[in-house]
């Protein structure tokens, strides 16, 4: 004890060279672990010096705030030199000040931007300029030109450079030390102790070896000299350091640490100035725009008066925004949204931002604060002290235009995408660790397959035992422990889906920028959590397929009606639209097209917009797991009484019949029933989202129960409420978000009901999106009596269009040439231009105009787009082959020996070449007269059959869904020539007919028919694979988990 | 006394076509195709119809599987994960391509007994021209029976067919011919599906797009129309298939081997009596090797009793590249001298199967090490005198643990040792050379280590004791490695005994025990 006290008094040390696991596949500890360990060991300060990276620095900063230890920001670099020995120079740069931080950040950016993703390239000469404020620690490479390099560094970093001495109990430690001492004397650079820390404790050595093996794509035993000879690259206690280094070298570390005054807290976000016009402040400008927008929003109200409730909300929100200085953020998002609107790009804010009246007035969101009860605290709260997060969806096909606008307006120097840290998940961990330990590939794969996605990692030992692996063997024990250790550790940086950081000055001075995998995309080295911690603001530019579909459908309607059709022209609360939804006819409609949603629609029977808001939110894992669906349906159908503990609770839950369905209700409930503040309630919601990962929830549980008991609520009620809200946490929707989505549900439903042809054309042109394949959508369109015309070389465009010419001015859906596999949009556009001058009159004509490459031409023939000129597509193909090698003006021979396709071959060719779309035949249509299909009931007749009767059905498998919340039940969709059949497979049936369930294209099912409220299911009892009936059919089912 | 020389094989491959296989006009070429479609399974000792549930995999995909595994719905090309989902009890075996190649090579050598015209057609098929062997094997039916029985004995699954052209035999072996029936092969050919032909996949796909599915569909198409669309290669292929164009095949040759023997009228007891015969046999071997430009890596002397009973085998390895009579005589004499030859023998045989094409070894025109040859000869002489395996060399390995870093191995010729270097080892060797000796692991450790470290006792102060107290003069060098097998965590020291002798000792940290690992010379 006395000894320890003496050490602490006399010896101080700061570790200046540490690599965390953000030096990917090299470091074996997190920045947090390093900082916490350094604090435990009593180090004065600790530097995080990941190689050419600041990716882990924010996590380290957070840990340093929590522990109180001083954090030094730095980075390690390996620089190319002109050395004859070609040995690179190793250097640490540390940031004593904000300016120095920017210098290092810029250097990292320079090195990273020059190289492909994940790499960097820097030369010694890059140090000459732009690093006037950094401190440097030189790590000599024991080469003959060390002295020369030292002299160079001493000149460039005059008085700011040290010579790092790193000793690892190797046999040459003494020689190395003496060599460095000589260098130090020769160059006049002082020596300092460093330890090249790769792990916070020695026990991480196996993990360090393992990640090295993964990085070098070998196994640990074959790493040989690429493996460190011992475990000495760890954070050492002071008494060990004292034995290893002279005191002077240890004290020098503290002197350097004392020179470093920079803290990450100094990083202040500077907003782009462009968003505020000259002569105005951000506050006044935002206020001006908000009230201007409010007047526009309520232009049609009586006396054009903005409701008082809204005015009050706006004023309150503006006050909070001003206090938290978020005006620029709102103005930046407004600027982007305004751009999109001027370009006619549909966009809509969603998530918690829809709780803001200001966002509504700025046209960022569409949830009317006059009608809906918004909870601004869900969006911004003082207690939370976190920057707001506005997610804006844009048309997916036009999102790039918005991104280019941002790059253009704010310049590439001031914008970059946020990173996403790709971490090890169970599968990748098992695979990579297994490979590194040299386990057989088959065994690893087998192990991975044996574990279901819901299994915990602890199941791994069980699975290993099942495979009779000796768990007492060193290798197997290490395998399990290493998989556990590597889980959640970062592997590389990737591009966030759409989070942009926009800054006033050059972004690289705030955070390093590197290249993303996608050409012309750059990402910053921090992810969204880092940005949150530092209080920086990002704008999420996301793409939404349904917005594209709506926009396209509206354009088509405008084109054929001759009158401009906009979203705001769609009449609200159309009962016919709700009738359609009540019948479960929602295929293709936004959000409510899944099997679960479709079967819920006839039970919930939405009759107004708010019903849609509930519909969107209720079929979610949260409410389902929290057992909220059935009580709600019973209460809605009058089968159960609605009771409230008091009026306050009634006010919160009245709209959802006493059942909490939305996140806002949870927050409000905790406020009115347990006395939580708005921020506290939101913290509870966040704690619930990460339930199981930390122990935060218990403190809220106690607080909630106590609060509710104090307010006179029964204990049972309090516990039930807590369990209920725990059930959905992050899986539940906020009401505002649900309302944003419900709006799109209504719009898409309206389009489907009133302009179905345009609706299907819009959806088909916006693929891939939604639950259904183009074939399923087209089948559905035909069942709605929409004429579907085949793709034609003289009539089709690239996209699907609405054709008014052939069906007495009735709109028909003309399939586009985009449906044909292997044909490029460019070629089609050129062909369309060519046919506008003179229509095509034969296959030879198309070929002679040289519009398509021979391969493309043959693909078009196979997809039957020349049916106008040649009904026998095989003959057309034969002729096309004739001229493959050059231009040939000869008319083709008669080729009488070529036979035309029969029905089955036609179907097969369509499936193969037109993305599974065949207008001529449905597979079941061809099989209907054969056994066992002649016994099967077509989908269209199922409703007319007696409930609970045993029936047989058959169809093409178009979807399999096995939701985690459905206790192992699988929902399968079969399609026949008359419609879709919903098949329910219990676990036992799945196991019994495992092969047929998993691999069939065509299925024959015997089972019990169940129908209720117009929803029809067949509960399967017997399943038979029928692929042999149509061996040529290769349909692709869409499978969801 | 008679001397019989039997040298197998020819030095060049033979190219023959159907038309040239006509020793007399009555005899037509008959091609037998043996398609070992389940070679990947057979190579790991599994038959298709076995009771086992075996799945052969390659690159995480199912490559082949037996009937039992197929019954679960697994098929070739599926991912291993998918296969296991369908067939959780399936036994996965990684495909062993080298094993398959070897098996096919062995089969081609086996097939040599039926005809001298054996050709490896693809990675799992043999083609045999058996027209001239039919009378020897008493007709097609008998030969069929013979081959079937033999293949059954060898545990091989085979699909076979006969036809008048090699390509026809090959495609018919894909299950189109029941039994070996030469008549009507053209008719059978018409039913062959296009995908079973060896046409370019693109050509096959195009023909299918035009509605043609079998050979019968395309034989009626005018040749000019076919040629215009699918080119000369397709036409030539079809003509060869139908026997309208010659189809030369490259036949395999069995491996080179030398064998010669001398029979004595009376049993011999003294080896000195046979010196002349030994020299003649060695001369024959030398001529055989030189005429064929081969490299001899060793030869074997066999001594037989009068009833052909093998008495003794003496093997002699040769490291030297250049073979001369004096040298192999010397090696033989050295070996004979070290062997007690106190038996009577009636026949001696000299054989060598370790013969390789000399083209594998290229002499460096500017070889900086002219002494290498002399060195190799010395090794050969030492091996002959002391016995094979007696001469060893120190081989440094890129490892941290000293016992792994300093390993000794059999002294081998430079040709073998260089060829056996892996890429990584070569890179490491280069790196070591580039380091200019600065990373010399031997700097602080003795050249030779004890085979098993010697445990040392501890003094009261915890220091090691070896014939007296030890004084540390250098260290520690900490080595901590091999946690995945047996963790070794050691602190190495150079310690001095009172006598001045320097020892290399280490403290095993996991056991808290001192060991001596070597001593400095």
Tell me the pLDDT tens digit for each residue of A41-81. 999 999 999 999 999 999 999 999 999 999 999 999 999 98
CB-nearest partner of A229 from B57, B72, B479:
B479
CB-nearest partner of B73 from A445, A877, A999:
A999
**Residue ranges of E strands in B66-222:** 91-94, 118-122, 125-129, 159-163
Q: A951 CA to chain B: closest CA distance, Å?
A: 27
Q: Does B219 touch chain A (CB under 8 A)?
A: no
- Decide: helix, strand or coil at residue B209: helix
What is residue A28's predicted lDDT score, i.e. its pLDDT? 96
Q: B482 CA to chain A: closest CA distance, Å?
A: 8
Question: What's the rounded Cα separation, in Å, for the pair B172 and B189?
Answer: 7
Binning pLDDT at 50, 70 and 90, where does residue A8 land? very low
B contacts of A437 (beta carbons < 8 Å): 484
Q: Which residue out of B75, B95, B209 would a mutagenesis test of the A interface target, given it has the greatest number of A Cβ atoms within 10 Å?
A: B209
Q: Which residue out of A449, A478, A862, A909 would a mutagenesis test of the B interface target, given it has the greatest number of B Cβ atoms within 10 Å?
A: A449
Contacts of A32 (CB under 8 A, 6+ apart): A59, A60, A62, A63
The DSSP letter of residue B79 is: B
Q: Residue range A1004-1027: average pLDDT?
A: 88
Question: What's the rounded Cα separation, in Å, for the pair B450 and B419?
Answer: 30
Q: Does B209 touch chain A (CB under 8 A)?
A: yes
Q: Residue range A896-902: average pLDDT?
A: 78
Contacts of A495 (CB under 8 A, 6+ apart): A417, A419, A420, A516, A517, A518, A521, A523
Structure tokens at A946: 């007696």
Contacts of B469 (CB under 8 A, 6+ apart): B459, B463, B498
B contacts of A882 (beta carbons < 8 Å): 228-229
Residues paired with residue B316 on neighbouring β-strands, in sequence order: B299
What is residue A374's predicted lDDT score, i.e. its pLDDT? 64
What is residue A7's predicted lDDT score, i.e. its pLDDT? 47
CB-nearest partner of B484 from A440, A475, A882:
A475
A contacts of B221 (beta carbons < 8 Å): 897
Local confidence pLDDT in tens for the 521 residues of chain B: 433 333 333 333 334 444 434 444 455 789 999 999 999 999 888 999 988 899 998 877 889 999 998 888 888 888 777 787 778 788 888 888 888 998 898 888 888 888 889 999 988 999 999 998 888 888 889 999 999 998 998 889 999 999 999 999 999 999 888 888 888 888 899 999 999 998 999 899 888 888 888 998 888 888 888 888 888 888 899 999 988 888 888 888 777 788 888 888 888 887 778 888 899 999 989 988 888 788 888 899 999 987 888 888 998 888 777 788 988 998 898 888 888 777 888 889 999 988 877 655 555 556 555 566 677 778 777 877 777 777 777 777 888 888 888 777 776 654 444 444 444 444 444 444 443 333 434 457 787 788 889 999 988 888 898 888 899 988 889 999 889 888 889 999 999 998 888 999 999 998 899 999 998 87
End-to-end CA distance of chain B: 59
Residue with tokens 């004023």: A315
What is residue B27's predicted lDDT score, i.e. its pLDDT? 57
Binning pLDDT at 50, 70 and 90, where does residue A270 land? confident
**Cβ <8 Å between A878 and B477:** no
B residues 473..502 contacting A (CB < 8 A) = 474-487, 489, 491-492
What is residue A455's predicted lDDT score, i.e. its pLDDT? 55
Q: B449 CA to chain A: closest CA distance, Å?
A: 17
Burial class (CB in 10 A: 0-12, 13-18, 19+), B390: exposed
Residues paired with residue B409 on neighbouring β-strands, in sequence order: B393
- The DSSP bridge pattern shows strands A522-527 and A513-515 to be antiparallel
ipTM of this predicted structure = 0.71
B residues 388..427 contacting A (CB < 8 A) = 397-400, 424
Question: What's the rounded Cα separation, in Å, for the pair A510 and A507?
Answer: 5
**Cβ <8 Å between B229 and A882:** yes
pLDDT tens sequence across A359-369? 999 999 888 87
Q: A996 CA to chain B: closest CA distance, Å?
A: 9
Among A565-574, A675-684, A806-815, B6-15, where is mean pLDDT lowest? B6-15
As a 3-state breakdown, chain A gives helix, strand, coil percent values, each rounded to 5, of 50, 15, 35
**Cβ <8 Å between A858 and B474:** no
A946 has a pLDDT exceeding 80: yes
- The DSSP bridge pattern shows strands A391-395 and A513-515 to be unpaired
Structure tokens at A417: 């995408």
Q: B475 CA to chain A: closest CA distance, Å?
A: 6
Most confident of A201-215, A765-779, B72-86: A201-215
CA A401, A404, A410, A415 dihedral sign is: positive
pLDDT tens sequence across A91-137? 999 999 999 999 999 999 999 999 998 899 999 999 988 899 999 99
CB-nearest partner of B477 from A142, A170, A858:
A170
A891 has a pLDDT exceeding 80: no
Binning pLDDT at 50, 70 and 90, where does residue A165 land? very high
What is residue A697's predicted lDDT score, i.e. its pLDDT? 60
Nearest C-alpha in A relative to B485: A474
Q: A866 CA to chain B: closest CA distance, Å?
A: 15
Nearest C-alpha in A relative to B438: A142
Cα–Cα distances in angstroms (integers) from residue A363 to residues A318, A341, A568, B228, in the given order: 16, 9, 13, 65
Contacts of A761 (CB under 8 A, 6+ apart): A552, A553, A556, A799, A800, A801, A802, A813
**Cβ <8 Å between A205 and B480:** yes
Cα–Cα distances in angstroms (integers) from residue A42 to residues A9, A19, A38, A403, in the given order: 11, 19, 6, 48
Mean predicted lDDT score pLDDT of chain A: 85
pTM of the model: 0.72
**Cβ <8 Å between B484 and A445:** no
What is residue A695's predicted lDDT score, i.e. its pLDDT? 47
**Cβ <8 Å between B60 and A171:** no
Structure tokens at B188: 């059978």
B contacts of A874 (beta carbons < 8 Å): 209-211
What is residue B433's predicted lDDT score, i.e. its pLDDT? 44
End-to-end CA distance of chain A: 58
What is the per-residue burial (b if ≥16 Cβ within 10 Å, else e) of A25-40? bbbbbbbbbbbbbbbe
Structure tokens at A635: 């209460």
**Cβ <8 Å between A169 and B225:** no
**Cβ <8 Å between A168 and B476:** no
Max CA distance (Å), chain B: 102
**Cβ <8 Å between A882 and B228:** yes
CB-nearest partner of A897 from B81, B93, B220:
B220
Burial class (CB in 10 A: 0-12, 13-18, 19+), A3: exposed
What is residue A525's predicted lDDT score, i.e. its pLDDT? 95
A contacts of B475 (beta carbons < 8 Å): 171
**Cβ <8 Å between B221 and A897:** yes
Q: B226 CA to chain A: closest CA distance, Å?
A: 9
Among A66-70, A296-300, A802-806, B204-208, where is mean pLDDT lowest? A802-806
**Cβ <8 Å between B210 and A206:** no
B residues 321..380 contacting A (CB < 8 A) = none
The DSSP letter of residue B420 is: T
Cβ atoms of A25 and A214 within 8 Å: the answer is: yes
**Cβ <8 Å between A224 and B397:** yes
Angle between helical axes of A308-324 and A327-342 (0-180°, round to 10): 120
**Cβ <8 Å between A475 and B480:** no
Residue A693, CA atoms < 13 Å, CB-side half-sphere: 6
Q: Which residue, among A765, A681, A766, has the nearest Cα to A721 in the 3D structure?
A: A681
Q: Does B57 touch chain A (CB under 8 A)?
A: yes
Nearest C-alpha in B relative to A244: B476
Q: Which residue, among B269, B342, B259, has the nearest Cα to B301 in the 3D structure?
A: B259
What is the per-residue burial (b if ≥16 Cβ within 10 Å, else e) of A332-345? bbbbbbbbbeeeeb
Contacts of B98 (CB under 8 A, 6+ apart): none
Nearest C-alpha in B relative to A881: B229
Q: A941-946 — which CB contacts under 8 Å span 24+ positions?
A: A941/A978, A942/A981, A942/A1009, A942/A1011, A942/A1016, A942/A1018, A943/A1011, A943/A1014, A943/A1016, A945/A1009, A946/A1009
Q: Which residue out of A217, A226, A442, A476 would a mutagenesis test of the B interface target, given it has the greatest number of B Cβ atoms within 10 Å?
A: A442
How remote is the C-alpha of B286 from its chain's centroid?
A: 25
What is residue A18's predicted lDDT score, i.e. its pLDDT? 97
DSSP for A590-658, please give it: SSS-SHHHHHHHHHH---SHHHHHHHHHHSSHHHHHTT-HHHHHHHHTTSS----SSHHHHHHHGGGTT
> Among residues of chain A, what percentage have pLDDT more than 70?
89
**Cβ <8 Å between B211 and A901:** yes
Query: Between these two residues, A377 and A467, which has the higher pLDDT value?
Result: A377
Q: Which residue, among B228, B186, B171, has the nearest Cα to B203 in the 3D structure?
A: B228
CA B157, B161, B166, B167 dihedral sign is: negative
Q: Which residue, among A644, A529, A612, has the nearest Cα to A62 in the 3D structure?
A: A529
What is residue A964's predicted lDDT score, i.e. its pLDDT? 61
Structure tokens at B80: 């291993």
Nearest C-alpha in B relative to A1025: B73
Q: Which residue, among B418, B412, B414, B403, has the nearest Cα to B380 in the 3D structure?
A: B412
């Amino acid at each position: 004890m006395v000894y320890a006290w003496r050490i602490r008094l006399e010896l101080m040390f700061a570790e200046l060279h540490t690599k965390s696991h953000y030096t990917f596949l090299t470091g074996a500890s997190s920045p947090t672990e390093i900082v916490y360990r350094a604090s435990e060991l009593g180090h004065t300060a600790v530097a995080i010096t990941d190689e050419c990276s600041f990716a882990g620095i924010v996590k380290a900063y957070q840990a340093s705030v929590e522990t109180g230890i001083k954090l030094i920001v730095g980075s390690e670099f390996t620089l190319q030199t002109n050395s004859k020995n070609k040995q690179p120079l190793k250097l640490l740069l540390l940031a004593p000040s904000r300016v120095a931080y920017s210098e290092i950040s810029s250097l990292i950016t320079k090195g990273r931007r020059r190289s492909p993703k994940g790499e960097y390239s820097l030369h010694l000469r890059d140090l000459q300029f732009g690093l006037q404020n950094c401190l440097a620690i030189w790590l000599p490479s024991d080469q003959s030109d060390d002295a020369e390099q030292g002299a160079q560094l001493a000149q460039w970093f005059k008085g700011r450079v040290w010579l790092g001495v790193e000793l690892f109990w190797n046999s040459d430690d003494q020689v190395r030390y003496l060599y460095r001492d000589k260098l130090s004397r020769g160059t006049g650079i002082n020596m300092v102790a460093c330890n090249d820390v790769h792990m916070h404790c020695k026990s991480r050595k196996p993990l360090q070896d393992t990640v090295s093996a993964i990085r070098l794509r070998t196994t640990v035993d074959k790493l040989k000299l690429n493996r460190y000879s011992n475990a000495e690259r760890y954070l050492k206690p002071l008494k060990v350091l004292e034995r290893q280094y002279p005191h002077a070298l240890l004290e020098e570390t503290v002197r350097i640490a004392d020179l470093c005054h920079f803290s990450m807290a100094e990083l202040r976000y500077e907003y782009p100035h462009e968003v505020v016009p000259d002569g105005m402040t951000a506050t006044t400008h935002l206020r001006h725009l908000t009230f201007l927008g409010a007047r526009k929003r309520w232009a049609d109200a009586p006396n054009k008066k903005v409701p008082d409730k809204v005015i009050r909300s706006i004023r309150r929100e503006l006050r909070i925004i001003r206090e938290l200085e978020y005006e620029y953020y709102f103005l930046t998002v407004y600027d982007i949204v305004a751009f999109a609107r001027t370009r006619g790009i549909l966009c809509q804010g969603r998530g918690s931002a829809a709780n803001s009246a200001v966002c509504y007035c700025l046209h960022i969101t569409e949830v009317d604060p006059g009608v809906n009860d918004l909870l601004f605290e869900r969006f911004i709260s003082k207690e939370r002290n976190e920057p707001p997060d506005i997610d804006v969806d844009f048309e997916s096909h036009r999102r790039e235009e918005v991104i280019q606008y941002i790059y253009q307006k704010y310049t590439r120097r001031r914008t970059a995408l946020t990173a996403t840290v790709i971490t090890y998940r169970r599968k990748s961990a098992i695979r990579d660790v297994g490979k590194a330990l040299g386990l057989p590939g088959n065994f690893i794969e087998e192990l991975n397959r044996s574990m279901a996605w819901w299994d915990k990692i602890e199941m791994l030992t069980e699975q290993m035992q099942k495979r009779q692996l000796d768990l007492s063997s060193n290798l197997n024990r290490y395998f399990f422990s290493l998989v556990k250790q590597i889980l959640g550790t970062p592997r590389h940086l990737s591009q966030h889906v759409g989070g942009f950081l926009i800054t006033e000055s050059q972004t690289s001075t705030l955070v390093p920028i590197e290249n993303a995998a996608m050409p012309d995309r750059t990402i910053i080295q921090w992810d969204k959590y880092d940005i949150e911690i530092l209080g920086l603001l990002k704008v999420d530019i996301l793409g939404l397929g349904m917005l594209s579909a709506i926009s396209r459908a509206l354009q088509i309607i405008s084109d054929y009606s001759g009158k401009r059709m906009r979203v705001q022209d769609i009449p609200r609360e159309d009962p016919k639209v709700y009738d359609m939804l009540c019948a479960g006819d929602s295929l293709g409609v936004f959000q409510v097209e899944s099997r679960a949603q479709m079967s819920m629609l006839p039970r919930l029977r939405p009759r107004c917009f708010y019903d849609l808001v509930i519909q969107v939110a209720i079929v979610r894992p949260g409410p389902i797991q929290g057992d909220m669906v059935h009580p709600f349906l019973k209460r809605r159908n009058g089968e159960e009484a609605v009771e409230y503990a008091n009026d306050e609770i009634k006010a919160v839950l009245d709209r959802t019949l006493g059942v909490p369905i939305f996140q806002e209700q949870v927050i409000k409930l905790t406020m009115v029933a347990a006395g939580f503040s708005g921020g506290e309630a939101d913290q509870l919601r966040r704690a619930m989202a990460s339930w199981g990962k930390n122990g935060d929830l218990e403190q809220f549980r106690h607080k909630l129960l106590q609060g509710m008991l104090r307010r006179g609520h029964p204990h049972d009620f309090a516990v039930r409420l807590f369990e209920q809200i725990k059930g959905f946490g992050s899986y539940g929707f906020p009401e505002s978000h649900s309302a944003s989505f419900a709006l799109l549900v209504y719009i898409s439903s309206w389009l489907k009901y009133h302009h179905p042809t345009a609706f299907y054309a819009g959806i088909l042109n916006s693929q891939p999106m939604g639950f259904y394949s183009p074939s399923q959508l087209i089948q559905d369109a035909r069942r709605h009596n929409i004429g579907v015309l085949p793709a034609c070389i003289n009539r089709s465009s690239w996209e699907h269009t609405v054709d008014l010419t052939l069906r007495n001015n009735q709109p028909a859906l003309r399939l586009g040439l985009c449906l044909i596999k292997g044909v490029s949009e460019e070629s089609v556009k050129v062909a369309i231009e060519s046919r506008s001058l003179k229509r095509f009159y034969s296959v030879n004509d198309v070929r002679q105009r040289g519009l398509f490459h021979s391969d493309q031409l043959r693909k078009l023939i196979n997809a039957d787009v020349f049916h106008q000129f040649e009904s026998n597509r095989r003959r057309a193909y034969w002729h096309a082959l004739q001229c493959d090698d050059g231009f040939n003006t000869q008319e083709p021979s008669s080729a009488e020996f070529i036979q035309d396709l029969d029905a089955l071959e036609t179907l097969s060719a369509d499936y193969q070449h037109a993305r599974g779309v065949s207008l001529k035949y449905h597979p079941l249509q061809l099989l209907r007269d054969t056994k066992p299909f002649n016994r099967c009931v077509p989908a269209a007749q199922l409703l007319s059959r007696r409930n609970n009767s045993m029936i047989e059905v058959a169809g093409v498998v178009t979807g399999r869904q096995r939701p985690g919340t459905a206790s192992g039940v699988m929902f399968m969709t079969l399609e026949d020539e008359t419609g879709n059949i919903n098949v329910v497979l219990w676990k036992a049936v799945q196991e019994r007919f495992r092969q047929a369930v998993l691999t069939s294209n065509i299925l024959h099912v015997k089972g019990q028919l169940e129908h209720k409220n117009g929803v029809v299911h067949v509960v399967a009892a017997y399943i038979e694979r029928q692929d042999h009936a149509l061996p040529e059919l290769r349909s692709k089912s869409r499978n969801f988990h | 006394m008679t001397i019989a020389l039997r040298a197998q094989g020819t030095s060049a491959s033979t190219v023959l076509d159907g038309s040239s296989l006509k020793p007399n006009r009555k005899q037509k070429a008959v091609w037998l195709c043996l398609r070992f479609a389940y070679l990947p399974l057979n190579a790991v000792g599994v038959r298709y119809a076995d009771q086992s549930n075996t799945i052969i995999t390659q690159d995480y995909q199912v490559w082949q599987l037996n009937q039992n595994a197929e019954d679960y719905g697994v098929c070739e090309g599926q991912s291993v994960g998918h296969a296991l989902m369908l067939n959780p009890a399936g036994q996965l075996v990684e495909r062993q391509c080298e094993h398959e190649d070897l098996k096919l090579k062995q089969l081609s050598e086996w097939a040599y007994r039926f005809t001298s015209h054996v050709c490896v057609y693809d990675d799992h098929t043999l083609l045999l021209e058996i027209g001239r062997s039919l009378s020897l094997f008493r007709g097609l039916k008998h030969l069929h029976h013979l081959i079937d029985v033999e293949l059954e004995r060898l545990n091989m699954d085979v699909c076979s067919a006969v036809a008048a052209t090699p390509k026809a035999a090959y495609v018919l072996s894909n299950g189109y011919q029941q039994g070996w029936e030469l008549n009507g092969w053209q008719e059978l050919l018409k039913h062959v599906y296009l995908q079973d032909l060896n046409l370019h996949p693109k050509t096959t796909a195009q023909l299918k797009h035009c509605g043609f599915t079998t050979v019968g569909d395309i034989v009626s198409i005018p040749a000019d129309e076919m040629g215009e669309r699918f080119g000369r290669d397709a036409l030539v292929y079809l003509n060869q298939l139908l026997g309208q164009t010659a189809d030369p095949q490259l036949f395999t040759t069995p491996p080179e081997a030398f064998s010669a023997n001398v029979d004595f009228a009376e049993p011999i007891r003294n080896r000195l009596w046979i010196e002349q015969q030994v020299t003649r046999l060695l001369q024959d071997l030398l001529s055989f090797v030189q005429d064929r430009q081969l490299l001899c890596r060793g030869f074997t002397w066999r001594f037989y009793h009068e009833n052909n009973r093998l008495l003794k085998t003496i093997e002699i390895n040769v490291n030297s590249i250049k073979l001369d009579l004096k040298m192999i005589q010397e090696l033989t004499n050295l070996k004979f001298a070290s062997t007690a030859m106190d038996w009577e023998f009636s026949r001696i045989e000299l054989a060598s199967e370790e013969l390789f094409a000399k083209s594998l070894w290229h002499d460096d025109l500017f070889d900086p090490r002219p002494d290498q040859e002399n060195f190799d000869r010395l090794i050969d002489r030492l091996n002959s005198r002391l016995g094979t395996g007696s001469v060893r060399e120190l081989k440094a390995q890129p490892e941290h643990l000293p016992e792994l870093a300093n390993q000794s191995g059999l002294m081998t010729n430079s040709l073998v040792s260089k060829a056996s270097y892996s890429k990584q080892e070569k890179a490491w060797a280069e790196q070591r050379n580039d380091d200019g000796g600065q990373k010399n692991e031997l700097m602080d450790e003795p050249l030779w280590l004890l085979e098993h470290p010697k445990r040392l006792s501890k003094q009261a102060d915890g220091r090691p004791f070896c014939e007296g107290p030890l004084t540390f003069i250098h260290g520690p060098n900490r080595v901590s490695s091999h946690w995945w097998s047996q963790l070794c965590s050691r602190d190495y020291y150079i310690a001095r005994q009172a006598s001045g002798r320097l020892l290399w000792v280490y403290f095993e940290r996991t056991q808290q025990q001192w060991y001596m690992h070597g001593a400095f010379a």
